[in-house]
Amino acid sequence: MSTRGSPTVHRGSHTAVQAWLLLLPASLILLAFTHWPVIGTLWHSFQSTPKGGRPPVWVGLENYQVMLDDPVFWKALVNNLWFAGATIPLSIGLALAMALWVNERIAGRTFLRMAYFTPTVLPMIAVANIWLFFYTPQYGLLEQLSGALGFGSHNWLGSPSTALGAVTLVAVWKEAGFFMIFYLAALQSLNPSLREAAAIEGASRWYFFRRVQWPLLMPTTLFVLINCVINAFRMVDHLFVLTRGGPDNASTLLLYHLYEVGFSFWDTGYASALTMVIIVALVGVTLLQFFVLDRKVHYR
């Protein structure tokens, strides 16, 4: 990926200055709004929460100790792992399936593509409000369907066993259409002669997908995967409408817990510590993906 040219020293430094100047505006913004806040958060996470007249004091790792003892944090972490574990494969799988489907020459293709993409365009809060009525006990859409099929009534959002599953499903529904667009673009950029060659060789569709399309889609999959992992920790808007983390924290996620600690409890010290944990986890996962998975990906 890197270029290893050997221009003369003089020209090289000149180009470097120019390059840095061009990068300067973007990097300044990045520094001011991303890197500096991260450092500030790290600093705050070692301090107590200022309250009224009392300024913050250095407390070392106390905020992290509090986290270890916080049952809601552990609950949120476990929930978040389930949430990520379900949304990532489901939304990628669904996106790929939809992309393969609407990539074919079928009637109403444009309409289908648009329909699949619609959830992405809607704001998450609107989506959550729609789903709130899908999940409503007794007369919600889901209830009417299950009632017609002869199943009993169920309070999807109001019972601890199904609340997390219900909010996960909404996230998958919202996300899959977005990732489909990337897969669709990648599929359309594949060389059509590959398909013709496969057809001449008599390869089955499954074989063609497994041996040709899937490997060639790997760069897209990596990109989608990274986005999907980040989204799994970032998407909490719908919780505010659907469950507010309840019942009894059954559907709470890390970022939602962080919001509660930071902006309901106003415990900025502890909230900073929680933020650091999320940042470290996300940066770790991203680095892993870039440096380990990236090597296994076939780029043209």
Partner 1 sequence: MQRNTFVKALAATALFTSLAGLAQAQAPVDLQFYYPVAVGGPIAKTIDGFAAGFMKENPNIKVTPIYAGTYQETIVKALTAHKSGTPPVTSVLLSTDMFTLIDEDAIVPFDDFAKTAEDKAWMGSFYKAFMANSQTGGKTWGIPFQRSTVVMYWNKELFKEAGLDPNKAPTTWAELKDAATKLTKKDAGGKTTQYGVQIPSSGFPYWLFQTLTTPNDTILANDAGTQVKFDDPKVIEALQFWVDLGKAGIHPPGVVEWGTTPKDFFEKKAAIIYTTTGNLTNIKANAKFDFGVGMIPGNKRKGSPTGGGNFYIFKKSTPAQQEAAFKFAKWVTQPERAAQWSMETGYVAVSQAAYDTPTLKKYGQDFPAALVARDQLPVSVAEFSTHENQRVTKALNDGLQAALTGTKTPAQAMQDAQKEADRILRSYK
Name the residues that contact partner 1, by CB under 8 A: 51-53, 132-133, 136-139, 147, 150, 152-153, 155, 157-160, 243-244, 246-250, 260, 263-267
Output the smallest distance, CB 244 to partner 1, in A: 5
Between 51 and 205, name the residue whose CB sits nearer to partner 1: 51
Output the smallest distance, CB 141 to partner 1, in A: 13
Output the smallest distance, CB 270 to partner 1, in A: 11
Between 137 and 219, name the residue whose CB sits nearer to partner 1: 137
Between 96 and 250, name the residue whose CB sits nearer to partner 1: 250
What is the C-alpha separation between 57 and 273, in angstroms, rounded?
15
Closest by alpha carbon to 47, among 67, 34, 29, 64?
64
- Cis before 247? omega within 30: yes
Output the smallest distance, CB 275 to partner 1, in A: 16
Between 163 and 216, name the residue whose CB sits nearer to partner 1: 163
Output the smallest distance, CB 29 to partner 1, in A: 21
Between 131 and 183, name the residue whose CB sits nearer to partner 1: 131
What is the C-alpha separation between 78 and 253, in angstroms, rounded?
8
